[in-house]
Structure 1
Amino acid sequence: MTGPLRPAFHEGQVLAAADLSATVEYARGLAVRHARHLHEWGIAEGLGLVAEPRTDPLTDARHAEVRVEPGIAVDGTGREVVVTEPVVLRESDFEEVNGADRPTDEPYPVFLTATDRKPGGTPGPVSCAGGATGTRVEESYQILFGRLGDERLVEEQRPPAVGAPPAAPPARWLVLLGYVRWTDGHFGGVETEARGVGVRFTGVRADTVAARSGSLTLRTGPVVREGEPALVLSGGDQPGLVFGLYRGGGTVAPLMTVAANGNLTVEGSFSGRMPAGSTLVTSGTATDGMLLPLPAGVTPEQVADGRVVVHVRLTPRTPPTATDSTLVSTVEAAVDDERRVRCRTRLYDPLAVPASVVERPGAVDFLVLATVAATNGGA
């Protein structure tokens, strides 16, 4: 198989239609190979399904008019599909495909696919064979309704071979626009995901992403919105990595910062899996009957199955006494398997009349250490 053929011309050459077409096809081939292999296919801009409330004039029933917003998609063959104007979906087209189905709450998929047609016609599957006088081909589109479950066909599609030229006519490639609900003979609403399959957007295939300004920002939407997360990688005089949320002015309020020297600064609490050989600590004061807390990041399940070993140290507290002659002794200061404190103190005043011994609940200062033993490999 030969590689791409680039047209070459010389002075005095008589250019035939095939020569001019080859020039166009060479440029088209470059474009589709770029889109096919350097990008992930999907919706690039717009093409959302929008539902507008309507009322049936005959029954006064509420329903929805659904339209496809203008936008651009790139399919898996590398072809760009452009919708320049809003398109209202026709209920008659839906009924032609799914009208025999029983009533259901399940949403139906809506697809976009590329097609060629003669200029001046209506969007739809038209033969591109054309007459001998045709000098233009409109790269158009078709909107299709699928049956329940047809959304799985999207991921089953396979791209053309590496050197394959643009398909003529274009091969049918389904781009999922979303889903519509159907109730009582009308559209009832729209969805972007159903049965675990959602709308797919374009992406980039790259092992390296380089920023010319010295700062690279990743965010979850095309527009900066206050409260949305962002990840900023900076170089230059203050290199570092910042994760945070956008402020009203468009700057990022840091929640986590990694400095160039490796120092990590976290604004909130830090929790996660305890590495082998680590120790977490918590302390405080507890009274008789209280459950001792575990250090932050340690769960009762980790203690129960032996992944974490808990060590407890108790120091009895001396309670206040009514007289200076009262003697205080600790009868019990322990913790059971449920980490429940058992603390009793005994008070005796030998100068009191009559002399008596009193026992009452006590208090302790506690220190709880949770440790993960290192394995033989130190991991």
Structure 2
Amino acid sequence: MTTTRPTFLDGAILAAADLGSLETIGRDRDARHARNLHTPGVCAGMALEKKDAKTADGRDYVDVTLGLGYAVDGTGRELVVANEVQLSPDRFFDDNPNPPLESGETFSVWHPVFVRGFDQPLAGSPAQGQCANGPGRGGVEELVEVEFGRPGDPDRDQPLPAPDAGPGSGAWRVLVGFVRYDPGIRRFTAVGSTADGVTVSRAGAAASLVAGAGRVELRTRSTADAGVPVVLLDSVPAASLTFGTHDGTGGVAPLLSVDASGNVTASGTLRGLQTVGSLRVLSGTASDGTVLPLPDGVDQAAVDSGALVVSVVVSPHLPTPRATTFFVPRTCEVDADRRVSATGGWVDLAANTVTDEAASCDFLVLVSVAEATP
């Protein structure tokens, strides 16, 4: 099936359907663009906001409101909330008459809150010369309704329209948050944006290519406030890839950058897997009983698996001599768990005595990658 658009000829008589098709064509085209080049979700606002309250007998609950906002569903339909919507506990009970409760609690597990959009025709206004509603100007109101789902609903697949279709009829639901409900008082008790590993999804771009005029910027917020993470792909003055944060004045503080030659510059510590031939080193002083740490970025699991080899060198750390005594090391070693055993004693020649005590040692930890077995 193919899409069509109307054409008009001079002198032709236009019917209402001819003019209405112009609006339908544009709306359907926008919907196809939205669902094929963007991912569904919340674009702006639409946050669940709570207000603490108490019942007449002093039990805590919250009134929940859906804030103003804009979203796009998976069919490409726009969802606009122009006025705050008070969430109805009674509607929740109608949708979930027996909600599962948290173990040992009086309130329910997290339940998802959705919005969906649908069309509602408006009554036509009288045509000129008529005194009753009839043929004349009409309209369609694009409404948004709040629905309460059950645990697991956010993970369910929702059907897509045919490739040539416009926006859906309102069956597609967009997740805006989660609520807990207390059946005993028939009120909400909490709101959230994440539950059971699912987070309210934000609308995004579904594209394999993002191109710009010499510079492409990707950041987590629409405004470049201080501290907002940013990824820059730039060609001026030379090709570079930078990860950093905005400084709030238009600049970017680089945390990690790669230049056109592949050179990496990092302001922090590089962590990750080592390559064959590389060596990581850590040195210091440790007292008796201490477990020697691994160099920064070395994973203990990789050591346990045999992928990394740890070598340790220790030597006695001699304390400052005293007026009439001197320190003699007795043990200075580490076991398989890198636990230090360091002891010694102070020898007093005049009194012919030895006073034992725990000691310290200087250590050097070297970590290398095990050679592959042929």
**TM-score (normalised: structure 2):** 0.77
Q: Pick which of 203-212 and 190-199 moved more.
A: 190-199
Match of 1:143 in 2: 145
SS of the equivalent of 1:156 reads coil
1:375 matches 2:372: yes
Q: Structure 1 pair 190/215, CA: closer, same or farther in 2 (3 Å)? A: same
SS of the equivalent of 2:21 reads helix
Partner Cα separation in structure 1 for residue 149 and residue 345 of structure 2? 80
Match of 1:114 in 2: 117
Match of 2:10 in 1: 11
Deviation at 1:160, TM superposition (A): 1.2
Deviation at 1:357, TM superposition (A): 12
SS of the equivalent of 1:81 reads strand
Provide Cα deviations, 1:187-211, integer angstroms capped at 9, x if missing partner: 3332222233332221101112123
In the TM superposition, 1:285-364 aligns within 5 A as 292-313=292-313, 336-339=335-338
The answer to whether the 8 Å contact 1:49/1:68 transfers is yes
In the TM superposition, 1:209-224 aligns within 5 A as 209-212=210-213, 214-224=214-224
Q: Structure 1 pair 30/314, CA: closer, same or farther in 2 (3 Å)? A: same
Partner Cα separation in structure 1 for residue 153 and residue 54 of structure 2? 30
Give the letter aligned to residue 142 of structure 2: S
The answer to whether the 8 Å contact 1:274/1:297 transfers is no
In the TM superposition, 1:12-91 aligns within 5 A as 12-56=11-55, 58-59=56-57, 61-91=59-89
Q: Pick which of 21-30 and 39-48 moved more.
A: 21-30
Give the letter aligned to residue 309 of structure 1: V
SS of the equivalent of 1:34 reads helix
Match of 2:226 in 1: 226
The answer to whether the 8 Å contact 2:51/2:62 transfers is yes
Q: Structure 1 pair 67/335, CA: closer, same or farther in 2 (3 Å)? A: closer
Provide Cα deviations, 1:298-351, integer angstroms capped at 9, x if missing partner: 34443343222233455678998899xxxx999987654344567899999xxx
The answer to whether the 8 Å contact 2:343/2:356 transfers is yes
Q: Which blocks of at least 5 consecutive residues in structure 1 are unaligned? A: 122-130
Deviation at 1:44, TM superposition (A): 1.5
SS of the equivalent of 1:294 reads coil
The answer to whether the 8 Å contact 1:345/1:360 transfers is yes
Q: Structure 1 pair 290/24, CA: closer, same or farther in 2 (3 Å)? A: closer
Deviation at 1:375, TM superposition (A): 2.7
The answer to whether the 8 Å contact 1:114/1:139 transfers is no
In the TM superposition, 1:139-288 aligns within 5 A as 139-149=141-151, 151-152=153-154, 155-167=156-168, 170-183=169-182, 184-212=185-213, 214-284=214-284
Partner Cα separation in structure 1 for residue 68 and residue 208 of structure 2? 32
Deviation at 1:33, TM superposition (A): 0.8
Deviation at 1:70, TM superposition (A): 2.0
Provide Cα deviations, 1:55-83, integer angstroms capped at 9, x if missing partner: 55x55655333222222221111111222
Deviation at 1:263, TM superposition (A): 2.2
Deviation at 1:21, TM superposition (A): 2.8
- Seq. identity, %: 35
Partner Cα separation in structure 1 for residue 95 and residue 289 of structure 2? 69
The answer to whether the 8 Å contact 1:112/1:141 transfers is no
Deviation at 1:97, TM superposition (A): 2.8
Deviation at 1:5, TM superposition (A): 0.7
Q: Pick which of 185-194 and 28-37 moved more.
A: 185-194
SS of the equivalent of 2:122 reads coil
SS of the equivalent of 1:241 reads strand
Partner Cα separation in structure 2 for residue 89 and residue 355 of structure 1? 86
Q: Structure 1 pair 59/260, CA: closer, same or farther in 2 (3 Å)? A: same
Q: Structure 1 pair 202/360, CA: closer, same or farther in 2 (3 Å)? A: closer
Q: Structure 1 pair 132/107, CA: closer, same or farther in 2 (3 Å)? A: farther
SS of the equivalent of 1:118 reads strand
Q: Note the aligned Cα RMSD (angstroms).
A: 4.0
Partner Cα separation in structure 2 for residue 231 and residue 30 of structure 1? 32
Partner Cα separation in structure 2 for residue 360 and residue 117 of structure 1? 87
Partner Cα separation in structure 2 for residue 45 and residue 371 of structure 1? 50
Match of 2:127 in 1: none
Q: Which blocks of at least 5 consecutive residues in structure 2 are unaligned? A: 101-105, 125-132
Q: Structure 1 pair 134/165, CA: closer, same or farther in 2 (3 Å)? A: farther
Partner Cα separation in structure 2 for residue 142 and residue 218 of structure 1? 31
Q: Structure 1 pair 141/353, CA: closer, same or farther in 2 (3 Å)? A: closer
Partner Cα separation in structure 1 for residue 112 and residue 28 of structure 2? 31
Deviation at 1:258, TM superposition (A): 2.2
Give the letter aligned to residue 140 of structure 2: E
Give the letter aligned to residue 15 of structure 2: A
**TM-score (normalised: structure 1):** 0.76
